[in-house]
A and B are shown apart, each in its own frame.
Chain A
Amino acid sequence: MIARLHPDVVVMDLAMAGMSGVEATRRVMTQRRPPAVVALSGSRELMRDAIAAGAGQALLKEADLTELLAAIRLVAARW
């Protein structure tokens, strides 16, 4: 879907069925023009892994919408 839509920012849930979000982030980053990734997780360890995999921001899932939007704006501006 990312390859088809070419989004600027992807909000990635790190706890997905089938594939881990960290792995998905790593794969997204292999694309020719990868989007910025904001990762969401309940685990700080997974958040660190996501940042190591290329995520621009990693937020706890309890983050509110304002926080999420601010994170999206920041990664979009810096990507």
Chain B
Amino acid sequence: MTDQRNGRTSTRRVPIPSGRETSIAGAVARFAITGLAGLGLLTFLAVQLLSSRGTTEAIRDAKALTQVAGRGIAAPYLTPQLLAGQPEAIRAIDGAVRTRLLAAPVVRVKIWNGTGRIVYSDEPRLIGARYPLGASELHALRTGGVDAEVSDLSRPENRFERQYHKLLEVYYGMRAEDGTPALFELYQRFSSITASGNRVFRTFFVPMIATMVLLELAQIPLAVSLARKVRRGQRDREELLQRAIDASEFERRRIARDLHDGPVQDLAGVSYTLSSAAGEARAVDPELAAALEQTSRQARESIRALRTLLVDIYPPRLHSEGLIAALSDLLSAFTAAGVETMLDADPQLRLPPGVEAVLFRVAQESLRNVLEHAHAKTVNVEVRTPEHHALLEVRDDGCGMDLSAIDEEEHFGLRMLEGLARDSGGRLELESVPGNGTAVRLAMPLD
């Protein structure tokens, strides 16, 4: 329900069911599509998670490789002579690095001392150069820890690695033979890291998707069974509703007939008798005659009221001549009250009796509200039948109302109309602007 105050349009809507009966195939298709959408979302999340997890695993493996290579290959060569830059020591470690370490995915090895000088690299132009060490590198150097990061190839110490585009550098804090700290650094191609990640991803992805699809397929028979039950329940409810409507119509007819044949006829008899008695008494006792005439008029008033009630309870023209004739009857009361009316509908229009009954009841209640509350100058009633629907609109130019201020308990008629429309598979919409009239619209499916 929407509510716009301060003179703007406010509407009150009742949700409309798409049809009178839920199709099993449609329900199962909706279930399957929802399931597939969920599956898609889960797959997307799983892809993200597995990719991230795979990359994390690959970086962990790269760290382990660096530690093993540092201890098992570089450590024996971390001598005071190497740290002092002696060519013999450099040649010795270079042989070991080139034969034991430099193979895919490792593309570069650097060993730094604590001052930021490169004491060894397989790229000889770097040996002896000094570059400032970053905070995390200094931390690894001091603590003997291991850390990894994507290489910043714009830095001068990495200028010889730019041909590799993207590298992961892992640095590991070690101690030379004499206890001097040194930083052992391995550069690995990042493509090998993502490839490792993808391997982890592929390992889990296919079984996971297969499991999800099987789960989805296993749920389809359950959904079919559930949809059948829902449909059975829906049919039972519709049958009950139809029976209730039939019973209500029967009761209305019976009450109308009883009123017509009983109290109305009796009152008519009483009225004639009183009129006749008044005529006879006029010469003898004018006062009594006047009293009798007055009582006779009251009886006739009561007969008129009862006949109006009869039309309300069971509009005979609705059944014999159709909705438009019955609506025309309803509007005649407005003409008598000096309200201009317009009925926009095909006079020959005939709709299924159930639909005509609902349209008539809604029009009747709406027009009653207009007559009693709206102080309208004109009231328009329109009936159209576009695209398998019957549409009724009752619009007046009266005082309107603030829908947000409607007291639900007091507006029983409105709630009854909403309930009637909903139970019949239709939709009721109320639009009102305070000071500028009210429109009640009803849409009923015809299929």
Instruction: Mark A residues whose CB is within 8 Å of B.
Output: 38, 44-45, 47-48, 51-52, 56-60, 63, 67, 70-71, 74, 78
Contact = CB atoms under 8 A, between A and B. Distances in A.
Nearest to B95: A52
A66 to B, nearest CB: 10
B80 to A, nearest CB: 11
Interface in B67-85: 67-69, 71-73, 75-77, 79
A44 B177 contact: yes
Interface size of B as a range: 10 to 19
A60 B75 contact: yes
Contacts of B64: 70
B300 to A, nearest CB: 112
Contacts of A63: 71
A63 B71 CA distance: 9
A38 B72 contact: yes
B103 interface: yes
Nearest to A49: B76
B73 A58 contact: yes
A27 B76 CA distance: 21
A75 to B, nearest CB: 8
Given A51-B96, A51-B100, A56-B100, A70 B68 contact: yes
Given A56-B100, A78-B103, A48 B68 contact: no
B79 A71 contact: no
A60 B281 CA distance: 142
B76 A47 contact: yes
Interface string B233-264: 00000000000000000000000000000000
Contacts of A48: 76-77, 92, 96
Q: Is the interface of A mostly helix, strand, loop or mixed?
A: helix
A60 B78 CA distance: 13
B76 A74 contact: no
B284 to A, nearest CB: 133
Contact of B75 (A44, A70, A74): A44
Nearest to B65: A74
B72 A59 contact: yes
A63 B72 CA distance: 10
Nearest 3 pairs of A and B residues by beta carbon: A57-B72, A47-B76, A70-B68
Contacts of B65: 74
Most chain B CB inside 10 Å of its own CB: which residue of A47, A48, A59, A71: A48
Given A44-B79, A52-B95, A74-B65, A59 B100 contact: no
Contacts of A78: 103
Contacts of B92: 48
Given A44-B177, A51-B100, A56-B100, A71 B95 contact: no
A36 to B, nearest CB: 10
Contacts of A58: 72-73, 76
A38 B76 CA distance: 13
A52 B95 CA distance: 8
11 contacts: A44-B75, A47-B75, A48-B77, A48-B96, A52-B95, A57-B100, A60-B71, A67-B67, A70-B64, A71-B68, A71-B71
Contacts of B96: 48, 51-52
Nearest to A56: B100
Nearest to B100: A56
Contacts of B77: 48
Contacts of A60: 71, 75
A38 B100 CA distance: 12
A51 B76 contact: yes
Given A48-B96, A70-B67, A74-B68, 5 more contacts: A44-B177, A47-B75, A48-B92, A71-B72, A74-B72
